[in-house]
Amino acid sequence: MGTDKIRYLVFVSGRWRWRPTATMRAHGFRLVTFGRTLDAEDKAKAIRLNEDWDRIRTGIEPSFKRKVWPRGSVGEGYERARGIRMREREAKGQKLTSEQTSRDDWPRAWKWLEPAFGDLDPRTVSPEDLIALRAKVAMRRSESEAHRTIKIWRALWKKMAAMGYCAYDADPSLTFSNSAPPPRQAVWTAEEVRLLVRAAWASGYRGLAAVIAVTWDTQLSPVDVRRLTMAQMQRDGSGALFLIDRAKTGRPAIATLTRRSERIFRAYIARLGFELHTDAPLFRTRGRTESGAKGGRPWAPRPYTKDKLAEDFSLIREQVFGKAERRTLADFRRSGVVEATAGGAAAEQISSKLANTLSASNRLHRTYSPANTATVRQVDEARRAGRAKIANKDRTKVS
């Protein structure tokens, strides 16, 4: 193979990956992940992918972006349904963010549905076929993924029925149940979060310590915290807050900080060693020191990615609570709801704090109770009251 660098082959987050450009993805190429080291077979595969791309970009071979589906097939129905959804959004002036696109369940389910049913007439798909596919997805991935796959199939069937591909009431998946897996119930306590913050700071993961503190107070999802910038930060009479649009829903959110978390955040910013642009991501890795860097060159702190944040959080979590602990940073949102509910906060108030549709009458709530700082601060007060009740209950159990 020689020592020449192979195009599009990069080392990211501890693994080698063949990473195509946006133009290449538009022609059907996808990310390929290898291991921590590359063997001859991996390099040969990357070279073959480059050769495939060269033949397409030079016009020697046609793009394999889209497959030509048989007339009346499930694949044709899927492509038409997706196209209608896209044109509907364009007519409304709606543009999905990259985060919203990555969370779209349709392409995710289609990865399983396409090889099984893409070329088939939907009327020939039997309940036994779908049951077998569901079991396969559950075994290879998870019960949650299997539930999602059948849920999207049912939504696709309705679209295909409306377009005349099949009968609306003849969906074979309706002959069996598609129960959702039980939701996660894991919660953190405020004291456990303080231990995580202290351990992260003491270990040099100051950016992670600030992420943990900010996530706990704001109840934002990890992806929303990673996107925070200094330009979004403001103050009111009670302290610091961030004004943002959530990545998943696009809804406006008011993310408040306690004075304790603000002190941690300010201390982290002061120790960065460089000035952040107002629109740059706030939270960064710890980088690499002169002595720890390869070749004696330090690595500057970089903005946290999804994988790197999960990796660093797992290291600190194991350090504090051991390898058996499996709770995640995403469980902070649920933990905050538990505190707020114990403190007497109403569902509408919690919904404003989370910037989601938690309350029962979602449409009315969005119309008559938009997110505002006063409501969010009330939830913060309820969380403090609930936290005290939970702590007192725990002490009573111990006694």
The CATH number of residue 393's host domain is 1.10.443.10
Q: pLDDT tens for residues 293-336?
A: 444 455 567 899 888 999 999 999 999 999 999 999 988 888 88
Closest CA to 145 of 157, 154, 136: 136
Tokens of 176: 């069996």
Query: Does the residue 119 lie in any domain?
Result: yes
**pLDDT, tens digit, 9 for 90 and up, residues 256-295:** 888 999 999 999 999 888 888 888 899 999 876 434 444 4
Give tens-digit pLDDT for 110-139. 989 999 999 899 999 999 999 999 999 999
**With 80 as the cut, is the pLDDT of residue 47 above it?**
yes
156-178 average pLDDT score? 95
Residue predicted with more confidence, 244 or 15: 15
Contact (Cβ atoms closer than 8 angstroms) between residue 170 and residue 154:
no
What average pLDDT is seen over the chain? 81
355 and 392 housed in the same domain: yes
Residue-number span of the structural domain to which 42 is assigned: 9-57
Tell me whether residue 89 is in a domain: yes
Bridge partners (DSSP) of residue 372 are none
Q: How many domains does the chain have?
A: 3
The pLDDT assigned to 322 comes to 93
Least confidently predicted of 33-42, 51-60, 196-205: 51-60
Residues 230 and 370 in one domain: yes
Beta-bridge partner residues of 10: 17
Averaged pLDDT for residues 69-73: 86
255, β-bridge pairs: 242
Q: Look at residue 284 and tell me if it is in a domain.
A: yes
Which of 227, 243, 231 minimizes the C-alpha distance to 305? 227
Positive or negative, the CA dihedral 248, 251, 252, 257 is: negative
